[in-house]
Structure formats: structure tokens, C-alpha cells
Amino acid sequence: MTDFLKQPWPWYVAGPLIGLTVPALLILGNKSFGISSSLRHICAACIPANIPFFKYAWKKEAWNLLFVAGIFLGGIIAAAFLSNPGPVALNPALAAELSQYGINDYTHLVPQDIFSWHSLLTLRGFLVMVAGGFLVGFGARYAGGCTSGHAIMGLSTLQLPSLVATICFMAGGFLMANLVLPFLLSL
């Protein structure tokens, strides 16, 4: 059984399972799926300042904090008990392209040549992790939600702003993967 859990699940299993969270949340309590709003809830709970953005009934959204805690706990359990000890399987064409940029270590979930404390102190690592993280956070706030909230929940409930946001997220992802990332990896 654990061998089944350690392997990547095909899209036709994982996709419907993710998709079923939408009707489950709507039926169980008219709740919206989204992760980025949980940071606002945490800040509203922890920051005693008199900031209007954080003055709202955040306790009504406590279920979202439990949902995020469950994701975090699930990640810990999966990493501790269900991780595959072998290297990550990559398409040979992608592996060849990444090797041109000096990325050859696939023994971890993410390439240690980019995502490690040591690489954080390099220009490439700083741009990828810190500047990229800032841009993702800014984009999620500017769009009024993250990719999971808009693409999974917003599209399934036929929200036009979610369609626009998802198109922009996808266009940004394509531009990043094909234009910006190769430039950053060549630094």
C-alpha cells in the first residue's frame, strides 16, 4: 500500500480529488477554497495594531487556518513516511537542459543547486527564492487570491475575475519558465 502512496498519482486520480474539495466546501458550510487568505487571518490574530485591513471577524475563518495546518502536517507526514528515496524522475530532455545550467542533483524534492541555504547567498538563489517569493506574494494579493483559490474555486463557480486572474497566472508562468528562468539560471 505504501508503494502506491509513494508514487506520483496520475492526473485522472489526483485532479478529481482536488476538484471534489470545491463541492465539499460549498456543501459543508458555503466556504471558499484558498490558501493565501490564511496569512491575512494569521496576521489579524497575531498583530494587535490598529490596522484597518486586519480588523475583521477572522475567527469565522478559523476553519481555513485548520485546513492550512492540515496541509502542513500532511507534508510532514508525507516527507517522513512516504517519501521516495530515489532521485526525482525527470524527462531526459529537461535533465539535459538543466545540466546546461549546472543543475545535476535530483536526489531531493527540489534541486539543491538552486534551493538551499548556500545558494540563497548567491545572486541567482536570491533572485529565485527571495525576489520570486515576493513577486508571488504580491501577485496573489494584487489578484485578490492565489492560483489555487482562483483556478480551483473561482473557475468552478464561474467567477469572471478568477478567469482573468488564472489567465494572467498562466501567462506569467509561461513567460517565467521560457524567458526569465533560463536567464536567471545562466547567471
Residue 61 DSSP symbol: G
| Domain carrying residue 77 | 1-83
Whether residues 4 and 77 fall in one domain: yes
Whether 65 and 137 map to the same domain: the answer is no
What's the pTM? 0.74
Same domain, 119 and 55: no
Among 63, 83, 103, give the residue marking a domain's end: 83
Residues 6+ apart with CB under 8 A from 64: 31, 34, 37, 38, 41
Q: How many residues does the chain have?
A: 187
Instruction: Let me know if residue 180 belongs to a domain.
Output: yes
Query: Which of 83, 105, 127 is a domain's end point?
Result: 83
**Pick from 61, 83, 105: which residue ends a domain?**
83
Q: Does 69 share its domain with 118?
A: no
Same-domain status, 1 and 79: yes
Residue 91 placed within a domain: no
Return per-residue pLDDT of the chain as tens, 187 residues.
667 777 777 889 988 988 888 888 888 888 887 788 888 888 888 876 788 888 888 888 888 888 889 989 998 998 888 877 777 788 899 889 888 988 888 887 788 888 888 888 888 888 888 888 888 888 888 888 888 888 888 888 899 999 999 999 999 999 988 998 888 888 7
**Residue 105 within a domain:** no
Q: Are residues 169 and 120 in the same domain?
A: yes
Report the domain count for the chain: 2
